[in-house]
Structures are given as C-alpha cells and as structure tokens.
Amino acid sequence: MRERTELVYLHNTGRYSVVELAEVFGVSRKTAYKWLGRHAAGGEDALEERRRAPHHHPNATPQAVVDAVVRAKVRHPRWGPAKLQPGPEEGQEVREAWPAVSTRGAILARHGLVVKRRLRRRTPPWSEPFQECRGPNDVWCADFKGWFRTADGARCDPLTVSDAFSRMLLCCKTVARPDGAHVRPHFERLFREYGLPLAIRTDNGAPFASVGAGGLSSISAWWVKLEVLPERIQPGHPEQNGRHERLHGTLGQETARSPAANLRAQQACFDAFRREYNNERPHQALGQVPPATVYVPSPRPYPATVEDPTYPEAAAVRRVRSNGEIKWQGELVYLSEALVGELVAVTEAPHAWIVQFGPIALGTLRPGMNRLDRLPAHLPALLSLHPQSVTHVPS
C-alpha cells in the first residue's frame, strides 16, 4: 500500500513517466496504469487490495437450500453436516439441490452453527471383535451406560442393547438394580420381539459375567441354554465393544447432560432418543441411512421352553447341586453358584477330565483332586459339540 501511494505521488509531480516508475517499482506498465487509474477514480482508498472472488457465481447454492440446511441444523443441533437431510416440509426443488457434505459444513460455519474441535492423535481402532459380524443378529452388544442421578436425586442405571451390524438400538431402559433378576425380563422381551442372536458381547462385570467357572453368570448361563454365545471383551479394552461405546457417547449427549426431573421423565427421554436414533438419524457406516432400514429380526424365535444343553453320548452328565457343587468319583467339586440346577458334562482328555456347560469349557479335573482347575492354555475355551443323545450318569 505504501509503494502504491508513493508511485502515484511521484507520477503526479510530473517529473517521471509511467515507464520509468514501472521500472523503479518492479511492476509492469499495465500494473502501474491500473493503480494510477484507480487512484484517479477513488482516491487512496481505491488502492486497497480487492477481493478476487466473483460477485455472482453460477454454481452458488440457492438461498432456499441454504435456509433449509440451517433449519435442519436447528432441528437437530447435535447432528453433523453429514447427517442433515431435508425436512418433510421442504419442496422437491430443495431436495434435488441438496448440497454435498462439505458444502453443508461450509454453510453451517458461515452461520456460526459449528464449533471447531481440537484435533487429537488417536490410536487406530482394533477391529478384531467385529470381523465375524456379517449381518443383523450375528452379534448383539449389551452394557450399562454409566449411572447418573435425575433432578430429584434418584439413581438412573440405563441398560442398553444394540445390534452390532445395523447399529439398531434394541433397548434403552432404566432398571431398578443392575442385577440378573432385574435384567433378565428385559432380555426376555427382546428375544420375544426380535428373536435370538448368535452371540451377545458384554464387558466382564455383573450381571453379565462373574469370577466363577467359565466366567458365567446366571444371565450368561441362560444365554448358553438358548444357544446364544456370551462373548466378553478383554478387561480394560472397551474399544473391543467400540460401536456400543460410541452409541453411549451420543446417548449421554442427548439425554443425560441435563437429567430429567425423575426416572419416569428420564425414560421418556430415552424412548424419544431411541425412536429418533433408529428411524431418523442417518448413520455414516450404513451409507447415511438410519439403522431401522438395515435391521431385520432374527429367524431364531425365543422358545416356549428352555431345554438343557445336549452332550455327546460318551460324556458323563451331572446336575449342579444347590450349593454349586457336583459329585465326581466320590468327591464334591465346586463349580459355580451361577450354574445351580444346570446340566454339565465331564469328558475325558489326556491326563484330565474337562468339565463343560454347553460349548463352554469350565475347567479340568485331575485324578486324586477335588477342585476345578482353570483350563490349560493349549485347550480351547469353546468346545465344538454336536447335539446328540445325552447319557445321564447317576451322581
């Protein structure tokens, strides 16, 4: 700006030609004439740098579409630009001209509707637990979202269950206590409504797991009898259930940042979130469609009667006693209170016997010992069993 002003001043003295001034200031004669013409037309203010963007752009987003994007953001303030879609009140012209994700983001930024986040270096996700999840009901994920208190001081423990493939939120219910007696009725309702999955993935806490034989609890033992495999993530590795943890993050933002007045009102918030999450909220991993468009119920119905597991004919079968023990070769062996009343089998292995409940290996028994040992490292925790007739051996 200083050099432009000086060029104009020297030219107005009449002692220098435009050719000489262009050479001294290192610009072309065309540029020198441009600055002289601007000064003559508008004074020193005209020497300021002008924006190079065109005043009118043939590909600019129509104002009606811009307004529709803003309305969509106001309607869903916590949705990002990738999830925003035209509302039902928008016309066909707006729907056909709906902009790309980057354009939606630029529109929101111009209107001050986005908050920039500081970029963080993150550990690459470990996708190992999800490699066999190839369709709906292959794996369900279950957990308790961290408890919090409602405005009246009541403790709220939300039980959440989702389908890992479709991200369908099957259950989001407050329970009186996070134990097996209060959790089982919710799973019974889910099994009747959606059918049985192949596996249910949880953490290692109650009521889904225990420190007893095989890590089974009363809930997971019931799943085994339904031929639903209980999967447990490694302790301290919530990323192995990352899809469900990500759901918990969204659930907390939408429903728990400002808790409701009481548990009944909080459950109403959960129900509203679940309806929107399943039927309206687009999911990026699903190609920007809501989970309800991908999920289908399981073809495996919940049976009217839950049968005992079946074992090979060569297996010695025992019914677990009321104190969690079985009798083996004249000795009482403690298994787990979670298996009281259940049918377990003892099969012969080199130098030991394997005790199993369904396909779950509980541990080994050795000659002359009356306690259950942990499964050796060279033996699998899941045994491949084929349903056959059961040989009942008197205990």
CATH of the domain at 266: 3.30.420.10
- pLDDT tens digits, residue range 156-209? 999 999 999 999 999 999 999 999 999 999 999 999 999 999 999 998 888 998
> 78 and 181 share a domain?
no
> 287 and 145 share a domain?
yes
Query: pLDDT exceeding 70 applies to what percent of the chain?
Result: 91
Highest mean pLDDT among 53-57, 117-121, 219-223, 245-249: 219-223
Q: Strand pairing of 229-232 and 139-144?
A: unpaired
> 145 and 269 share a domain?
yes
* Count of domains forming the chain: 4
The answer to whether 157 touches 174, Cβ cutoff 8 Å, is: yes
394: pLDDT confidence band, cut at 50, 70 and 90?
very low
Mean pLDDT computed over 288-299: 94
> 82 and 38 share a domain?
no
Residues of the domain holding 174: 140-293
CA distance 266 to 174: 8
- pLDDT tens digits, residue range 257-280? 889 999 999 999 999 999 999 999
Structural domain contains residue 184: yes
43: pLDDT confidence band, cut at 50, 70 and 90?
confident
User: Which is more confident, 59 or 38?
Assistant: 38
Structural domain contains residue 337: yes
Mean pLDDT computed over 104-108: 91
> 148 and 33 share a domain?
no
Mean pLDDT computed over 272-292: 92
Structural domain contains residue 301: no
CA distance 263 to 288: 33
Mean pLDDT computed over 3-12: 89
Structural domain contains residue 228: yes
pTM (two decimals) = 0.71
Structural domain contains residue 350: yes
> 253 and 332 share a domain?
no
pLDDT of residue 69 exceeding 70? yes
Structural domain contains residue 299: no
What pLDDT, on a 0 to 100 scale, did the predictor assign at position 67?
92
383: pLDDT confidence band, cut at 50, 70 and 90?
low
What pLDDT, on a 0 to 100 scale, did the predictor assign at position 285?
86
What pLDDT, on a 0 to 100 scale, did the predictor assign at position 52?
75
- Residue 161: both structure tokens together: 């269950």
> 199 and 283 share a domain?
yes
What pLDDT, on a 0 to 100 scale, did the predictor assign at position 119?
65
121: pLDDT confidence band, cut at 50, 70 and 90?
low
> 88 and 201 share a domain?
no
